[in-house]
Structure 1
Amino acid sequence: MNTVIAFVFMFGLLVFIHEFGHLIFAKRAGMLAREFAIGFGPKIFSFTKNETVYTIRLLPIGGYVRVAGEDPEIVELKPGHHIGLEFNDEGKVKKIIVNNKSKHPNARVIEVEHVDLDHQLVIEGYEIDEYDEKLSFKVDEKAFFVMDEMETQIAPYDRQFASKSVGKRAMQLFAGPMMNFLLAIVIFIILGLIQGVPVENAKLGEVQSGSPAEEAGFQDGDEIIEIEGNSISTWEEFTTIVRESPEEELDMTLERNGEAITTTVTPRLNEIEDMEIGQIGVYQAFEKSFFKTFKYGFEQTYETTKLILTNLGMLITGQYSLDMLSGPVGIYDATDQVVQTGFMNFLMWTAMLSINLGIVNLVPLPALDGGRLLFVGLEAVRGKPIDPQKEGIVHFIGFALLMLLMLVVTWNDIQRLFL
């Protein structure tokens, strides 16, 4: 049960932060954000606030912010359509009844001749069976379509995604991944404030019971200053030598309470991801420092980003196979293992996944933020936008392929777990 709660919390947090970035910058740019969704598929829960419908959906495979103009409008009025109109106190149309007009007895029913809800905000037409006089009605900029008794706010052109400058559109698309990086920085800072930050020198924080280090006489707080006669000044230098020396005797000099102590330790052989490394069973020391904590947050985010980009590059060049990718099932299984090791490791895992989500979304593939940013960049270079229909087709195909990849990855996850 702890794993289920942890996974739901982690998934919800990562997706919420990502989509919240898209939402905030859409609203700042004056775009109409129709829906803020966590998950895909059927709605589980929803409410409306400040023009936006907030929903939680059944399938935990992501989320989205639906901005007006990114997809074809839900309702398209054409000449000959019969619609009902309801008006506000200013005499402007506040509701456009598309069907079930009998449920709105006070609505004025007309036959449409001309509609412009993008720029002029006007509806022209005739009373039913009375074509002597053409009527013209001004439409409120926040009017609603009513279809099957569901209300959908209209989107004048100045509230649509395409009406905004290249810079505002690019920022709205980039805001999601950016928020994932910011979340990782915040989590690493929280970790630093709670447990401290790693010291730069090779100082031991804890010696594991029954480890080669304990057998060699290592104690908590010792500092490694020499290995095989070579001076050691950083934790990285110390661990690199140990990792590269499995089952080899190493002469080490420790400093304890200002006194130098010489001992010999033999790193134990361990296999990790088909690699043979040496380990002696010690943990790095931590220190509490307010300034270093904030530096630690940025440094850890940077180092994790580099590591993920390196692995992504190896995947692209074929050094990693698709079998090594994980979907929701694989991430759940990994989360289960991390949760068993403690809350701090769970926080670090969440930060790493947040960075991973930000990076993956910036990959220039159709349907991802990176793919859409690519189209905005092409528009900036060409000086004119790509045909929206053609771009929509590309993103639709890209989304379908991503869903197919998700199915393949999920199947591989299930096989790894049960076969």
Structure 2
Amino acid sequence: MEVENISSLLITIILLGVLVIAHEFGHFIIAKKNGIWVQEFAVGMGPKIFSRTKGDTEYSIRILPLGGFCRMEGEAEDGASSSTSFLSKSVGARMAVMAAGPVMNFLLAFLMIFGLTCTTYTATPVIKEVLPDSAAAASGLEVGDRIQKIDGKTIHIYDELQYTLQSNHGESLMLDVVDAAGTHHKYKLQPKLDEKQGRYLIGFSPEVKTGLLAESVDGYAKMGIAETARYSLFAMINYVKMTAEGLLRVFTFTANPDEYGGPIAIFNMVGQSYQAGLQYSIKAAIQNVVYIGAVLSANLGVLNLFPIPALDGGRILFLLIEAVRRKPMDIETESKLQFLGFVFLMGLMAFVIFSDIKKYMI
């Protein structure tokens, strides 16, 4: 294996480890807050390669760098008789424990984006230059216009503008803008397909701002802390939205194979981004990896909230049913549903890995 591939593999393993640790720490800390005994905090799956007990919890690293878990007392069997068991706690407490993992992934994604925004340059939905012979020029858009809505959808950040534009597949758009004087306008335009880039373009250059810690550039305004936090929040929400829509297509088998990827695709993406960044600087390489980490963290959070047995969302669904019925689901029934969910996820993972192999190794 080449040095580049070894470094890419190590970086991918570390990145996935950070995402898993954040997710499981969410479960861990809320379980502890609710007096639940967390018997084991594990990163990875399969046989243990490292284990250490501190307090009443065993901390372990396992051989397969995919996934992890918090093993709580009484989680999988009728252990309600113990005051420190998972099942002895209220529905609200158990739901909080299950939701805490995805919430930590969303928080991590936000923090990663915040850090990136502080150290890089960020495009805004404000027009700095209108390109000649473009859709923007034909519609009447002018320098200083801020795009506020596209087809009635509010645009908070430039990424939302691009996502809405590409997902519209070239259909005409209605833009609500505010000009430099504060006057509201509406423009209808027809995006043009750039065949070389394979993207639909409006035809303008956005205004760019510098991050708090980024090197100042003449003509670029600095983003303040509040603006940075606002951008980071909406960027994270945009990743969540894209992930949810993509996963719905995957679970309903309507997705294009190019839309999804498994471990090989992640390794390939991280490696390519890291190596591309190294052509400029180690800082750029790290920024590229952090960006991918933010996207993957949001992906992990959304995936785990899907109401599928064996995922956190499935457990939350069972707890909602318990709250409505005012009695827990039969342990045997829940176990069977969890097993079916696990089989479904393993089948889906096998399909995704097979698609990875076809795309990258055949």
Q: Residue 296 of structure 2 aligns to which amino acid in structure 1?
A: L
Separation (CA, whole Å) in 2 of partners of 1:348 and 1:412: 24
How do residues 50-129 of structure 1 correspond to structure 2 at under 5 angstroms?
A: 50-72=55-77
In structure 1, give the amino acid aligned to 2:20: V
In the TM superposition, 1:106-185 aligns within 5 A as 157-185=82-110
Distance 1:280 1:4 in 2: 39
What residue is the counterpart of 2:344 in the other structure?
A: 401
Cα distance, 1:386–1:9 mapped onto 2, change above 3 Å? same
Q: Look up the match of 1:80.
A: none
Q: Which residue of 1 aligns with 2:238?
A: 303
Match for residue 146 of structure 2 among 223, 234, 241: 234
Q: What is the Cα deviation at residue 31 of structure 1?
A: 0.7
8 A contact 1:15–1:38 mirrored in 2: yes
Tell me whether 1:277 sits opposite 2:200 in the alignment: yes
Which string of whole-angstrom CA distances, capped at 9 and with x for unpartnered residues, describes residues 379-409 of structure 1?
0000000111221222123223322322232
Deviation at 1:228, TM superposition (A): 3.1
CA contact (8 A) 1:157 1:163 kept: yes
Whole-Å separation in 1 of the counterparts to 2:7 and 2:201: 33
Residue equivalent to 1:4:
9
Which residue of structure 1 lines up, in the alignment, with residue 46 of structure 2?
41
Gaps of 5+ in 2: 1-5, 151-157, 171-179, 181-191, 210-221, 278-283
Using the TM superposition, name which of 365-374 and 276-285 deviates more.
Answer: 276-285
- Whether the 8 Å contact between 2:113 and 2:232 is mirrored in structure 1 is yes
Tell me the residue number matched to 1:377: 320
SS in 1 for 2:127: coil
Contact 2:137 2:203 in 1 (8 A): no
Structure with the larger strand share: 1
CA distance in 1, matches of 2:299, 2:68: 16
Question: Structure 1 residues 347-356 or 401-410, which shifts more?
Answer: 401-410
| CA offsets 1:163-198 (integer angstroms, 9 cap, x no match) | 000000000000000000011111111112112543
Pair 1:59–1:279, CA change in 2 (3 A): farther
The alpha-carbon deviation at position 285 of structure 1 amounts to 1.5
Q: Is this contact kept in 2: 1:198–1:285, CA < 8 A? A: yes
SS of corresponding position for 1:34: strand
1:362 aligns with 2:305: yes
- Whole-angstrom CA distance in 2 between matches of 1:398 and 1:305: 22
Partners of 1:311 and 1:404 in 2: CA distance: 18
Change in Cα spacing, 1:406 to 1:231, as seen in structure 2 (3 Å) is closer
Cα RMSD (Å) of the superposition?
3.2
Q: Which of structures 1 and 2 has the bigger CA Rg?
A: 1
The DSSP-based 3-state class of the residue aligned with 1:35 is strand
User: Partners of 2:54 and 2:206 in 1: how far apart?
Assistant: 49
Secondary structure at the aligned position of 2:317 is classed as helix
Q: 1: CA distance between counterparts of 2:113 and 2:63?
A: 30
Shift of 1:41: 0.2
Hey, what's the Cα distance between the residues in 2 that align with 1:308 and 1:298? 15
Equivalent position of 2:295 in the other structure:
352
Aligned equivalents of 1:290, 1:373: Cα separation in 2? 35
Gaps of 5+ in 1: 74-117, 120-155, 205-212, 217-223, 246-254, 256-266
Q: Residues 159 and 268 (structure 1 numbering): CA distance in 2 closer, same or farther, change over 3 Å?
A: closer
1:181/1:358 contact within 8 Å kept: yes
2:213 aligned partner: none
Q: Secondary structure at the match of 2:69?
A: strand
Q: 1:415 to 1:372 in 2, by over 3 A?
A: same
1:207-227 per-position Cα deviation (integer Å, ceiling 9, x unaligned): xxxxxx8xx8xxxxxxx9x72
Q: What is the Cα deviation at residue 321 of structure 1?
A: 4.7
Aligned to 1:132: none
Mean Cα displacement is larger for which, 318-327 or 1-10?
318-327
**1:191 counterpart = 2:116:** yes
Q: Does 1:333 align with 2:268?
A: yes
Matched residues in 2 for 1:167 and 1:23: separation? 16
Does structure 2 conserve the Cα–Cα contact (< 8 Å) formed by 1:235 and 1:284? Answer: no
CA offsets 1:112-155 (integer angstroms, 9 cap, x no match): xxxxxx79xxxxxxxxxxxxxxxxxxxxxxxxxxxxxxxxxxxx
**Quick check: 1:197–1:293 contact (8 Å CA) kept in 2?**
no
Identity of aligned residues (%): 34
CA distance in 1, matches of 2:348, 2:37: 31
After superposition, give the CA deviation of every residue in 1:273-314 in whole Å (9 maximum; x if it has no partner): xx5535979675223322201111111111121222222233
How many angstroms does 1:322 deviate by?
6.0
Q: SS of 1:199's equivalent?
A: strand
